[in-house]
Amino acid sequence: MVLGFVSALDTASATLREALPQMERLADMLVLARSGRISRRGQAGGYEYAVHGAGCRLIASDGVEIDVDFVDGAEAFDLWRLRRYGQSLSTPTNPPPEELLAAISNLNDLLTEVRPGWFAVSDRSGTTVIQG
């Protein structure tokens, strides 16, 4: 399920970057919304989006939910967000936290813990964020 989340996040990010040319990466949605260049809630590239305090929730046309916070520009997620994703799948799944943590620990070459309990894909940090 963790790899499914990462794949869905990659797809959503690429689709939204194409739909919103002023966005270089998903974290730019915060800056764009705060500056008024996009609305806090809307649709783009077939996704409903809602920019919230420190991140963004995306809902695909099939109802799959991807929610991330931005930690130093990285798309970060915790167990709660993974479980929400799992519950939104066409065949819902709700693995226990221990199972999710075991899956995450098996992906230490792909995921980095960016703060306690929050994970991001390792190669996504360090990209320039557009300024408001």
pLDDT tens for each residue of the chain, 132 residues long: 999 999 999 999 999 999 999 999 999 999 999 999 999 999 999 999 999 999 999 999 999 999 999 998 899 999 999 999 999 999 999 999 999 999 999 998 999 999 999 999 986 444 433 333
pLDDT at res. 10: 96
Write the secondary structure of 16-83 as one string of H (helix), E (strand) and C (coil).
HHHHCCCCCCCCHHHHHHHCCCCCCEEEECCEEEEEECCEEEEECCCCCEEEEEEECCEEEECHHHHH
What pLDDT does residue 73 have? Answer: 86
pLDDT at 2: 96
